[in-house]
Amino acid sequence: TDLSRIRNFSIVAHIDHGKSTLADRLIQETNTVAERDMKEQMLDAMDIERERGITIKANTVRIDWTAADGKDYVLNLIDTPGHVDFAYEVSRSMRAVEGSLLVVDSTQGVEAQTLANVYQAIDADHEIVPVLNKIDLPASEPARVAEQIEDVIGIDASNALLVSAKTGQGITETLQAIVDHLPAPKGDADAPLKAMLVDSWYDSYLGVIVLVRIIDGKLRKGDRVRFMGTGTVHHVDRIGVFRPAMTVVDELGPGEIGFLTASIKQVRDTKVGDTITHEKRPCDKPLPGFKPSVPVVFCGLFPVDANDFEDLRDAVDKLALNDASFSHEVESSAALGFGFRCGFLGLLHLEVVRDRLEREYDIDLITTAPSVVYHVHMKDGEVMELHNPADMPDVTLVDHVEEPRIKATILVPDEYLGDVLKLCQDRRGIQLDLTYAGARAMVVYDLPLNEVVFDFYDRLKSVTKGYASFDYQMIGYRQDNLVKMQVLVNEEPVDALSMMVHRDRAEMRGRAMVEKLKELIPRHMFKIPIQAAIGGKVIARETLSAMRKDVTAKCYGGDATRKKKLLEKQKAGKKKMRQFGKVEIPQSAFINALKMD
């Protein structure tokens, strides 16, 4: 295709501002999909994403459109994941296109993810076309929101498009603006092949499918290509484009976006951001800035029923096939039996994976408290990466511990500002900035990631009644007074409940944990001390007193059938008991103790 007839773009938006609906409308308007095949939110492939309204994997579609000049154009839309956990994938897919539609809900205005995503687009040198969406709604204030875009983001919004992705108003104008205002790609068809690996996923029929953007040269079926970052060579057996259904083509040239398959078995071999070139006539240097994304949040996943372990193994192996940023290794715990220590890009990623395991594979799971990766500096100079608090070395061997910090941006209506500042302060935050964007305050905090993975987002939502928006990026590691807190039941440590905490917050967390456990562990014939400790020092303690009477007598008096039922229930429950020294603790106690509240 003639380069001047190609436009490559992505859509950036805060969640719920209408990105998917707009993409659907663009596809529909251009008859890319026959009317009867059009289902809502074409681009959100997985059910779980549809339900949660989030798009996780980048998706792409090629749209043919005849512009006002009567010429035919090829518009390639790459739909980027909208969530912060996938920031690296967003930044890579941004680099595969030249422009962005900036969608802002004209009833809401600029939000935290609007900012985060548009800054990524600016970083990628995009031309940006602002789209004010939902103008069909009575609460729409396009003039105010356009002004806000200029004030807060600093881009010209005087030619912002007025759109209703719902009714279709402004869609033709949007297509025309893409042709008029976004630049055509550049590239040299005769140069050696240079293509960017934008994304990849596993397909059970075709193996791994690789989404590519051709920079220079041509890619054809039958080519032998090298992935420069991983060093592997593959034989290309199929190339094509998405309309959005996969459609085979003969070749892909500069500026084009499409897919290849090459009998690749696992997505691990296809790193997002890698450069693809010909084995025989390689390009001289790869695209800049390739770095594989690494997990930052870890937790243990254990089957509630120990018999499900093999099923869980199959399920996590399958998931890992399709998700290179998800890591897992077998973990065994005295409390929870066999399970997996899993790594995620962030909390949302964790939730999505856990949900899929429970739903698609039908396995009930216990999730241990999420933990970040600490850098433990040993006295002998060695540095270890700590993924699991249970592996924390003896304190006498440790010089100091560093934890990951984030820069969090929160937009919030004025009236909730005080509560948000208090929340950030409570979580050991350092305020970096406080400005106003219209009637909303924008606060920027330096926060420990560890305090954010622990229910921060839920708290933020509840103190602001859902009106705050939040986004973050990692800023690096910093030393602090971090210690491992252990929980002991009848003097026996319970590994699954160990956690890393800041020394100043240890008493509070320890107290909360022992109080909860006191409620959850059934009484025995003897007294049971429940303690939280750092090193050898006990910082919180509760005592579960001994059982005095027969529980059945106490609870149910003389009712024989109810008594029988209770005994049966207890018998069934026995199977799910775990033994700690002399103490039996029901599995449910761990599940509940690990629940965050």
Name the segment binding Mg ion (CB under 5 A); options: 48-56, 275-283, 343-351, 399-407. Answer: 48-56
Answer yes or no: is 379 a known binding residue. Answer: no
Collapsing DSSP states into helix, strand and coil, what is residue 98? coil
Neighbouring residues of 337: CB distance < 8 A, sequence distance ≥ 6: 302, 303, 306, 309, 578
Q: Which is nearer to ligand GDP, 136 or 311 (CB)?
A: 136
Determine, following the binding rule CB under 5 A, whether residue 55 of this chain makes contact with Mg ion: yes
Q: How far is the CB of 91 from ligand GDP (least distance, A)?
A: 19
Task: Go through the chain and tell me how many residues it has.
Answer: 597
Q: How far is the CB of 415 from Mg ion (least distance, A)?
A: 29
Determine, following the binding rule CB under 6 A, whether residue 106 of this chain makes contact with ligand GDP: no
Task: Say what the alpha-carbon torsion angle 249, 254, 255, 256 is, to the nearest 10 degrees.
Answer: 10
Q: How far is the CB of 38 from ligand GDP (least distance, A)?
A: 14
Q: Which of 8, 10, 20, 133 binds Mg ion (CB under 5 A)?
A: 20
Answer yes or no: is 16 a known binding residue. Answer: yes
Answer yes or no: is 190 a known binding residue. Answer: no
Site size toward ligand GDP, by CB under 6 A = 16
Binding residues for ligand GDP restricted to 8-27, rule: CB under 6 A? 13, 15-21
Q: Which does 234 bind (CB under 5 to 8 A by kind): ligand GDP, Mg ion, none?
A: none
Determine, following the binding rule CB under 6 A, whether residue 168 of this chain makes contact with ligand GDP: no
Neighbouring residues of 459: CB distance < 8 A, sequence distance ≥ 6: 423
Q: Which does 133 bind (CB under 5 to 8 A by kind): Mg ion, ligand GDP, none?
A: ligand GDP
Phi, psi (rounded to 5 degrees) for 175? -60, -40
Contact by Cβ (8 Å): 171, 25: yes
Q: How far is the CB of 21 from ligand GDP (least distance, A)?
A: 3
Name the segment binding ligand GDP (CB under 6 A); options: 159-167, 183-191, 380-388, 422-430. Answer: 159-167
Give CA separation, 154 vs 15, 110, 128, 441, 578, in Å.
Answer: 21, 12, 11, 17, 59
Antiparallel, parallel or unpaired: β 194-203 and 275-278? antiparallel
Q: Which is nearer to ligand GDP, 106 or 325 (CB)?
A: 106
Determine, following the binding rule CB under 5 A, whether residue 148 of this chain makes contact with Mg ion: no
Tokens 């930044």 correspond to 91
Show the 3-state SS of 30-96.
CCCCCHHHCCCCCCCCCHHHHHHCCCCCCEEEEEEEECCCCCEEEEEEEECCCCHHHHHHHHHHHHC
Contact by Cβ (8 Å): 546, 527: yes
Q: Can you tell me the distance from the alpha carbon of 588 to that of 594, in angstroms, rounded to the nearest whole number?
A: 10
Collapsing DSSP states into helix, strand and coil, what is residue 328? strand
Q: Can you tell me the distance from the alpha carbon of 231 to that of 290, in angstroms, rounded to the nearest whole number?
A: 13
Q: Which does 237 bind (CB under 5 to 8 A by kind): ligand GDP, Mg ion, none?
A: none
Q: Can you tell me the distance from the alpha carbon of 259 to that of 241, in angstroms, rounded to the nearest whole number?
A: 6
Q: Which amino acid is at 48?
A: I
Q: Can you tell me the distance from the alpha carbon of 497 to that of 341, in angstroms, rounded to the nearest whole number?
A: 14
Name the segment binding ligand GDP (CB under 6 A); options: 60-68, 160-168, 491-499, 551-559. Answer: 160-168
Q: How far is the CB of 269 from ligand GDP (least distance, A)?
A: 31
Binding residues for ligand GDP restricted to 130-149, rule: CB under 6 A? 133-134, 136-137
Tokens 């910093």 correspond to 478
Q: How far is the CB of 451 from ligand GDP (least distance, A)?
A: 27
Q: How far is the CB of 80 from ligand GDP (least distance, A)?
A: 11
Answer yes or no: is 133 a known binding residue. Answer: yes
Q: How far is the CB of 73 from Mg ion (least distance, A)?
A: 25
Q: How far is the CB of 593 from ligand GDP (least distance, A)?
A: 35
Cis ω on the peptide bond leading into residue 244 (within 30° of 0)?
Answer: yes
Determine, following the binding rule CB under 6 A, whether residue 83 of this chain makes contact with ligand GDP: no
Q: Which is nearer to ligand GDP, 53 or 183 (CB)?
A: 53
Answer yes or no: is 17 a known binding residue. Answer: yes
Determine, following the binding rule CB under 5 A, whether residue 114 of this chain makes contact with Mg ion: no
Q: How far is the CB of 18 from ligand GDP (least distance, A)?
A: 3
Answer yes or no: is 20 a known binding residue. Answer: yes
Antiparallel, parallel or unpaired: β 469-480 and 482-489? unpaired
Q: Which is nearer to ligand GDP, 23 or 513 (CB)?
A: 23
Phi, psi (rounded to 5 degrees) for 57? -85, 145
Q: How far is the CB of 12 from Mg ion (least distance, A)?
A: 12
Name the segment binding Mg ion (CB under 5 A); options: 18-26, 116-124, 127-135, 452-460. Answer: 18-26
Q: Which of 53, 154, 168, 535 binds ligand GDP (CB under 6 A)?
A: 53
Answer yes or no: is 327 a known binding residue. Answer: no
Site size toward Mg ion, by CB under 5 A = 3
Q: Can you tell me the distance from the alpha carbon of 14 to that of 109, in angstroms, rounded to the nearest whole number?
A: 10
Q: Which of 10, 93, 100, 164 binds ligand GDP (CB under 6 A)?
A: 164
Quote the tokens at residue 384.
Answer: 């270890």
Name the segment binding Mg ion (CB under 5 A); options: 49-57, 321-329, 384-392, 414-422. Answer: 49-57
Show the 3-state SS of 405-466.
EEEEEEEEEHHHHHHHHHHHHHCCCEEEEEEEECCEEEEEEEEEHHHHHCCHHHHHHHHCCC
Q: Can you tell me the distance from the alpha carbon of 32 to that of 424, in angstroms, rounded to the nearest whole number?
A: 47
Determine, following the binding rule CB under 6 A, whether residue 100 of this chain makes contact with ligand GDP: no
- In DSSP notation, 343-360 reads EESSHHHHHHHHHHHHHH
Q: Which does 16 bind (CB under 5 to 8 A by kind): ligand GDP, Mg ion, none?
A: ligand GDP
Could you tell me which residues are annotated as the binding site for GTP?
Answer: 16-21, 133-136
Footprint on this chain of ligand GDP (rule: CB under 6 A) = 13, 15-21, 53, 133-134, 136-137, 164-166
- Residue numbers at the binding site for Mg ion (CB under 5 A): 19-20, 55
Binding residues, as ranges, are 16-21, 133-136
